[in-house]
Amino acid sequence: MKHTRMRYTVLMDRDADGSYTVTVPSLKGCISQGDNWDEALKNIEEAIAGYSETLRILKKPVPCLHQRR
């Protein structure tokens, strides 16, 4: 199976306690958080992968902005 690497814009908001909440505008409901910037990015990458895999299982189209082959 051929894999295509997708790139998404993410929005990172710093919370009052110093942690980060991250959303992916093009993937409705895809949200994660982390105690710091690096953890938040790692967590949203995992969330995007899970979101995309679920869409593939359901045979739904995976929204994309940028594709890298």
Give the predicted TM-score (pTM) of the model: 0.83
pLDDT in tens, 7-27: 899 999 999 999 999 999 999
Q: Is the pLDDT of residue 38 over 50?
A: yes
C-alpha R_g of the chain: 13
Query: For 45-66, how does the pLDDT look when each residue is reduced to its tens digit (9 = 90+)?
Result: 999 999 999 999 999 998 876 5
Encoded tokens for 50:
């899970």
